[in-house]
Chain A
């Protein structure tokens, strides 16, 4: 009998110390909780297999003048690494047929190629310059590209309600080169996806706000996935806006790996 070796006083002291240690061990720091939510969100959004959609982007300048951009997109889910995606530009007409192939990676820089139909050339491009504007819009390549959990640091800030939905609010800071110093994400607990992201420039000032809407539920196998069909980006510094939307979205589509090879771009 083990208790014979302890006096009652020593036993209480030991128990108190153990409980205190346990509570300290299991208390999550804001960083741990933020990372946990981000990791859970990745798991919840996993399993879409493949996705194909028509995409439109409306560019709105400070005077309200609108310009339309059109694309087709395909994404292939890759087990154990980042996804592979292919964007085909349709409009404006001078870039029709231009294709951008991206192999996202969890740790390393993404591999990226641009196919230029006028020259029939497949050109490898650097994926490091993510803060460039995407087709003259308020979206940068970083906003629309892969956002692997491993490439950011996270910090949980608070619980909040937005549009009547329970949300987590957390801060995301890039570990590698980025156009932003930080992002504040308001993530809906129901969707495990953001309702809003605030982007702060390198000086720490608010630059843009992205609002995610038109969430639809897609069933793929045993999983139910929520995806926003529209993102509205408002640049608070230039007063320009852009809206990115998905149409004819097919989720759970079986896409072949060969469609995402450089040889398939020609």
Chain B
């Protein structure tokens, strides 16, 4: 670890600690149980995929997962520790221990309120329900639901203050957390264990393997006439858009491009992006928007199974609305409509960027608002550019007593096979239809 690079933030941490100790009026506040809170869950997760007649993959999943959260709060100081663990009987690559939050924060009192935070943190910058161009900070666990992937905590140093009529936060992230990919036997993966990802730092256009590097960002949040508006700028390692290939290849005079290693290495590139999120309540309707414009400085051209590829500057926008009707019995029926598009690149460029490159979504959620909090939801996503890509998910959930809940449902993917080419978009989930059952105990 480069101490000199992190010196300002180590000083910031030390100041936090001094301030915290000075402002502490009493002893034993960390040992006072009233300042602590916890929540947790243990779930039995079962899933059954449609038979793909492939003995190398596992069509069944049976896992125990647990999420634990411990939080401390006393006056100006807060701390949170939260993580997710999963053990799967059939697919060892699903076994995971993810640190989500492990941070300390302190609020400095004064004319200008300043909050400082240090530690691992999961961010949620989503405004929309399934398409998330702006929710880009954390690395993802790709062995989870495509439309809402599990997040991995990012080492964060944050300073936040009321400024210019809004709340502004500045971030420094000194380490690239690696995304997690499904293993070789997983129905949601590439059919092979992907090697560790490679980060391309454009400042010197070289591969970074030690995961240390400067990432920073700034975000401002405003409330304007019933709307929540967020604006941000980031200069960071783009972990949302993987390019699978290799930069180790040669050009043969007659054979053309020849890779010198198996071209299945996930590459990630530095990106500068500016974007906005909006949530606006208008009567019974909530309008939502997420957008991001991405600029990739000088990049490496990779050999992939789909040809030479490199990230291209583009813009990604998602917008939508939700409208709620209250039924006579107090139930709520919500209609959700969203659409997303990528501009600034052609069809192929869009497909390289995201699974939902020009898609529309319609969904319904019926909350019975009964003692069991019974809920039905259906979501359909259709590719508006490529006619054969569709995705449906449906779920029923309810509470069982005060501590248990049950969820059953299914996920259906309609996408053509990728053949010998690298799967793009929903092609990755060709014939991966599945049913699931989850029983959760909360404590």
A residues with a Cβ closer than 8 A to B are 59, 61, 67-68, 91-97, 108-109, 111-112, 117-133, 135-136, 140, 177, 179, 201-202, 258, 261-263
User: Which residues of B lie under 8 Å from residue A118 when comparing CB positions?
Assistant: 67
User: Which residues of A lie under 8 Å from residue B369 when comparing CB positions?
Assistant: 132-133, 135-136
Smallest CB–CB gap between A121 and chain B, Å?
Answer: 4
Smallest CB–CB gap between B227 and chain A, Å?
Answer: 8
Closest 8 pairs between A and B when the two form their complex, measured CB to CB: A133-B330, A93-B442, A133-B369, A124-B279, A128-B284, A121-B124, A136-B371, A92-B402
A97 to B405, CA, bound (A): 16
- Verify if B443 is at the interface (C-beta below 8 Å from A): yes
Q: Which of B229-284 contact A (CB under 8 A)?
A: 279-281, 283-284
Q: Which of B266-305 contact A (CB under 8 A)?
A: 279-281, 283-286
A132 to B67, CA, bound (A): 30
Per-position contact with A for B319-345: 1 when CB-CB < 8 Å, else 0? Answer: 000001110111110000000000000
A117 to B399, CA, bound (A): 17
Contact of A93 among B37, B284, B372, B402 (CB under 8 A): B402
A118 to B438, CA, bound (A): 16
Indicate if the CB atoms of B283 and A126 lie closer than 8 Å. yes
Q: Which residue of B lies closest to A103 (CB)?
A: B223
A179 to B326, CA, bound (A): 9
Smallest CB–CB gap between A238 and chain B, Å?
Answer: 8
A120 to B103, CA, bound (A): 14
10 CB contacts below 8 A, A to B, read A68-B402, A92-B442, A93-B403, A97-B39, A129-B324, A132-B369, A133-B329, A261-B167, A263-B160, A263-B221
Indicate if the CB atoms of B402 and A120 lie closer than 8 Å. no
Indicate if the CB atoms of A121 and B330 lie closer than 8 Å. no
Smallest CB–CB gap between A29 and chain B, Å?
Answer: 32
Indicate if the CB atoms of B440 and A111 lie closer than 8 Å. no
Chain B CB within 10 Å, residue with most, of A111, A120, A263 = A120
Indicate if the CB atoms of A125 and B330 lie closer than 8 Å. no
Contact of A111 among B67, B148, B281, B402 (CB under 8 A): B281
User: Interface on chain A toward B: helix, strand, loop, or mixed SS?
Assistant: loop
Indicate if the CB atoms of A136 and B373 lie closer than 8 Å. yes
Indicate if the CB atoms of B226 and A111 lie closer than 8 Å. yes
Known A-B contacts A93-B402, A109-B283, A121-B126; A126 and B324 likewise in contact (beta carbons under 8 Å): yes
Query: Knowing that A95-B373, A109-B226, A179-B326 are A-B contacts, what are 17 other residue pairs whose CB atoms are under 8 Å apart, sorted by A's residue number?
Result: A91-B402, A93-B402, A93-B442, A94-B403, A94-B440, A94-B442, A121-B126, A126-B284, A128-B324, A129-B284, A132-B367, A133-B370, A136-B369, A136-B373, A202-B328, A258-B113, A263-B160
Q: Which of B52-66 contact A (CB under 8 A)?
A: none
Indicate if the CB atoms of B39 and A126 lie closer than 8 Å. no
A201 to B226, CA, bound (A): 29
Indicate if the CB atoms of A126 and B286 lie closer than 8 Å. yes
A61 to B283, CA, bound (A): 32
User: Which residues of A lie under 8 Å from residue B330 when comparing CB positions?
Assistant: 131-133, 140
A135 to B402, CA, bound (A): 13
Q: Which residue of B lies closest to A134 (CB)?
A: B369
User: Which residues of B lie under 8 Å from residue A261 when comparing CB positions?
Assistant: 167
A10 to B340, CA, bound (A): 82
B residues with a Cβ closer than 8 A to A are 37, 39, 41, 67, 69, 113, 122-124, 126, 148, 160, 167, 221, 223, 226, 228, 279-281, 283-286, 324-326, 328-332, 367, 369-373, 399, 402-403, 405, 440, 442-443
User: Which residues of A lie under 8 Å from residue B223 when comparing CB positions?
Assistant: 111, 262
Q: Which residue of B lies closest to A203 (CB)?
A: B328
Indicate if the CB atoms of B403 and A131 lie closer than 8 Å. no
Smallest CB–CB gap between B100 and chain A, Å?
Answer: 8
Known A-B contacts A93-B443, A131-B326; A124 and B281 likewise in contact (beta carbons under 8 Å): yes
Q: Which residue of A lies closest to B367 (CB)?
A: A132
Indicate if the CB atoms of B281 and A93 lie closer than 8 Å. no
A261 to B326, CA, bound (A): 27
Q: Which residue of A lies closest to B324 (CB)?
A: A129
Known A-B contacts A93-B442, A93-B443; A125 and B281 likewise in contact (beta carbons under 8 Å): yes
A258 to B115, CA, bound (A): 12
User: Which residues of B lie under 8 Å from residue A177 when comparing CB positions?
Assistant: 284
Q: Which residue of B lies closest to A262 (CB)?
A: B228
A132 to B370, CA, bound (A): 10
Indicate if the CB atoms of A92 and B167 lie closer than 8 Å. no
Chain A CB within 10 Å, residue with most, of B160, B284, B367 = B284
Smallest CB–CB gap between B272 and chain A, Å?
Answer: 25
User: Which residues of B lie under 8 Å from residue A179 when comparing CB positions?
Assistant: 326
A117 to B148, CA, bound (A): 15
Indicate if the CB atoms of B326 and A126 lie closer than 8 Å. no
Contact of A120 among B124, B226, B281 (CB under 8 A): B124
User: Which residues of A lie under 8 Å from residue B325 when comparing CB positions?
Assistant: 129
User: Which residues of A lie under 8 Å from residue B228 when comparing CB positions?
Assistant: 124, 262
A120 to B120, CA, bound (A): 14
Indicate if the CB atoms of A96 and B284 lie closer than 8 Å. no
Q: Which residue of A lies closest to B228 (CB)?
A: A124
Contact of A94 among B279, B371, B405 (CB under 8 A): B405
Known A-B contacts A96-B442, A132-B369; A263 and B326 likewise in contact (beta carbons under 8 Å): no
User: Which residues of A lie under 8 Å from residue B402 when comparing CB positions?
Assistant: 67-68, 91-93
Indicate if the CB atoms of A67 and B443 lie closer than 8 Å. no
Indicate if the CB atoms of A132 and B332 lie closer than 8 Å. yes
A262 to B52, CA, bound (A): 47
A136 to B370, CA, bound (A): 4
